[in-house]
Amino acid sequence: MDAALLEAFLLRLGIASLHSLVLVALILLIQRLVPRLPAAVRCLLWWMAALQLVLGLIWPRPLELPLLPAIAPAVLEVHASSSGSGSVSADRGASTDALRLAPATVLAVPAVRGMDEADRAVAADNRSAASASSLPWAQLLAWLWLTGVIMTALQTLHAYQQSRRWRRTSRPCMHPQVLAIYAEVGARLNLRSLPPLRVSNHIASPQLLGPWRPIVLLPQAVLEGFDDDEMRMALHHELSHQQRRDLWWGWMPAIARHLFFFHPAAHLIVREYAFAREAACDEAVLACDHHAAHDYGRLLLRLGVAPRPCAGMAGASPTYSLLKRRLLMLQNSNAATRGMPLVLIAATIVVAALPWRVTAQATTTPAPATQARAAVVAQAASASRPAVKANPAVSAKPAAAPRPVAAAASTPRAQPTAAVAPTAPTPPHADEVDAYEGTVRIHGASDYAYVIMRGREVTASAESQDFKVSRRLQAGSTEPMIYVRKGAKTYLIRDAATVQKAQAIWKPVSDLGEQQGKLGEAQGKLGSEQGALGAKQGALGSQMGELGRQHAQIALRQVSLSQDDSAAAERQRQALEKETEALAARQEALGNQQEALGRQQEALGSKQSVLGEQQAALGTRQAAASDRADAQMKQLLDQAIASGVAQPAG
C-alpha cells in the first residue's frame, strides 16, 4: 500500500474527527440558546453533523479559509555533513536573516566533491527513510480502522437479520377496528400507500421496519390492550416516520457511525439524531387536534423502554433517560420559533458542515536571498593513502550525523529532518579541495583563516580561496605546516611543535565524533530491528486484509440470502454465521500478534529515543568543543605570528 495515500487517508480521518467536534459544540450551543427549537430542526442539525463526518472523509479538497497571518518563507540553518559520497543534509534552524551553515558545527567528511548530485540522493534517502519508518504504523492504524469498520458492520448485519426474523414470523393484522383506524390515520397524513400492518409476538412496541418494503409491526399485547385513542396515537407516530422518510434519511448517521466507530462525537450524533427524530414524530402526533399532550405522555409511559431495531423505528424509547427527555419535550410541543432565527441557524450549520481547513494568508513579498557560508573541521586519513581513512564520526548510516536530529530519522516517534538539497549552499569547486582528505570547515568571507596540513591530511577553517593558496604553498610536500591568513596578510608555519599543538587542540572534537559514530552504529542496528518488525507487521496486516475480504464476501452472501425465507436459505445462513465466527477468531488471533509486535516496536522506539538524547548531548558538547578549539587556535596562531614562528607566505 502506498505510504503517501495511506497517510493522507488517516490524516483526513483525523481532521474530519476534529472538525466534527466544532460542529457538535455549535449545535449543542444552539439548542441551549434556543430551548424551544422544533424537534424537526434539531433532527436536521444532527443529520448535517453526520453528513460532515462522511464528507470530511471523501471530499476531494476541503475549503481553505485563509484566517491565519501570512508566514514568511522558511529560512534554513543548514548543517552540512559529507560522507564518502559527498552528500549534504540540512535541517531547519531559527535564523531569520540568511541561509547559512553554522560555523561552530563540527562534521567529519572524507572529501568534499560531487555535493550537488549527492544532495538530491540524500533528499531521496531521507524521504524513503521517513516513509519506511512511518509506514508500519500507518498500516497498523489502517488495519485497526478497517477491522473496526468490519466488526461494526457485522453487528449491524446481525441486528438486521434479527429484524428479518421478526418480519418472517409476523402475521397480517386481521382486527377490523385497528385496520379502520390505520386507514383513517393514513388518509389524515395524505399517504398514497400504506405499509402492510402486521402483528408479532417478538417485539415490545410498535415499529416501522425496512426502507425498501416497509411494514408496521404491532405487538400482540398492544393489539389486545390499547383502546382506540391509544392505537390511533401509536399508529400516527409510526406513519409519521414513513411520511418523513426517516428510514432513508437514517442511512447517513448510520454510515457515519460505521466509519467513525472510534469517535465519541459520532456516537453522540447518532444518539441525538435518533432522539430528535422520535421527538419530531411526537410533535407531529400532537399537532393533530385530536390528541392531548398528557394523553400522549401516558402512552409513552405505557410503551416504556425497548431496544431500537436495526432497520426500523420503534415507538418506545431505548433508554429511560431518553424517555424522560421525550416527556419533557411534550411541554414545548406547541411552542413556535420565528422563521428568521431558523433560517440563520440553518445557514450557519450548512456552512459549518462543509469540509474546511484554516490556512495562512498568501505571502506577497519573497524573503531576500543571501549568500551562504559554511564551516567544517577535519581530521584526515593517512597521508600514504589517497583514499579517506574513515573517521568514526563519519558513517554511511543516517544516524551517524553529528546532529542528533538526523540520527533520529530512523525512529518512528521522531519526525525525520527534511532534506533541502535544492537550497543547500554552494560548496567549493572540486578542483579547490579535492587534493585533501579529511574533514574541512568552510566558511564565507572572514578576516581569519587557517589550514593545518600534513601531507593530504588537513584540519581547516577557511574560505574556498584559502585552499587554493595553501595547496600552492604546500607544493606536494609532506612536511607538516599551517597556512594562516589574517586580514590581507598570509603566513606559513613549519614549526612541528606548533603543528602538534594545533592538532592537540582539535583532538577533543574528533574524540566526540568517534563517540557519535558508535552511537550511530547502535541506532543503525535498532533501525534494522525496527524494519524487520515492520515487515512482520505488514505481513500480518496483509493476512488481516484477506480475512476482511472474506468477511465482506460472507456479508454479501448473507445479504443475498436475507430475502429468501426457505429452509435451505436458513441452513445456508447458519453455515455462514459459523464461517463468520471462525474468521472472527482468526482475526482476533492476528490482532493479538499485531499488538505484541506493536509493543516490541514501542520498546525499540524507546531505546532509539534514549540514543537520540545521547546524540543530542554529544552534539551540544561537540559544538562547545568546536568553539573552544577555534578560540584556542586563534590564540596559538596570534602567538606564532607575534613570535616570528609564522613566516610571511610568498
Half-sphere exposure of 644 (CA within 13 A, CB side): 0
50-64 pLDDT, tens digit per residue, is 998 998 888 766 666
- Domain-by-domain residue ranges, the chain? 149-337
User: pLDDT grade, residue 598 (50/70/90)?
Assistant: confident
Q: Tell if the pTM clears 0.85, that is, is over it.
A: no
In this prediction, residue 454 has a pLDDT band, given cuts at 50, 70 and 90, of confident
Stretch 549-574: mean pLDDT: 72
Q: Give the span between the Cα atoms of 470 and 462, in whole angstroms.
A: 10
Residues 476, 457: Cα–Cα separation, whole Å: 12
Average pLDDT, the chain: 73
Lowest mean pLDDT of 4-8, 138-142, 380-384, 487-491, name the range: 380-384
Q: Which cell numbers in the block locate residue 206?
A: 410498535
- Residue 441 pLDDT: 62
Task: Residue 316: count other Cβ atoms within 10 Å of its Cβ.
Answer: 22
pLDDT of residue 343: 64
Q: What's the confidence (pLDDT) of residue 253?
A: 93
**What pLDDT band is residue 289 in, cutting at 50, 70 and 90?**
low
**Residue 350: pLDDT band by 50, 70, 90 thresholds?**
low
Q: 17 — alpha (psi -120 to 50), left (phi > 0) or beta?
A: alpha
**Strand, coil or helix: 390:** coil
Evaluate if residue 369 carries a pLDDT over 70: no
Distance CA 535, CA 370 (A): 45
Which three three-digit cell numbers place residue 646?
Answer: 609564522
State the Cα–Cα distance between residues 125 and 119, nearest whole angstrom: 10
Mean pLDDT of 278-289: 86
Contacts 24+ apart (CB under 8 A), 627-633: 627/104, 629/377, 629/505, 629/506, 629/508, 629/509, 630/103, 630/104, 630/461, 632/505, 633/450, 633/461, 633/502, 633/505, 633/506
Residue pLDDT, tens place only, 226-261: 888 889 888 999 899 999 999 899 999 999 999 999
**Stretch among 269-278, 353-362, 469-478 having the lowest mean pLDDT:** 353-362
Has residue 622 got a pLDDT over 70?
yes
222: CB partners within 8 A, 6+ apart:
205, 206, 231, 234
Indicate the pairing of strand 481-486 with strand 457-462.
unpaired
pLDDT of residue 339: 52
Q: Which residue has the higher pLDDT, 631 or 91?
A: 631
Which has the higher per-residue pLDDT, 355 or 53?
53
Between strands 312-314 and 207-209, the pairing is antiparallel
**C-alpha distances in angstroms, 262 versus 51, 252, 266?**
17, 17, 8
pLDDT at residue 365 greater than cutoff 70:
no
The pLDDT value given to residue 403: 38
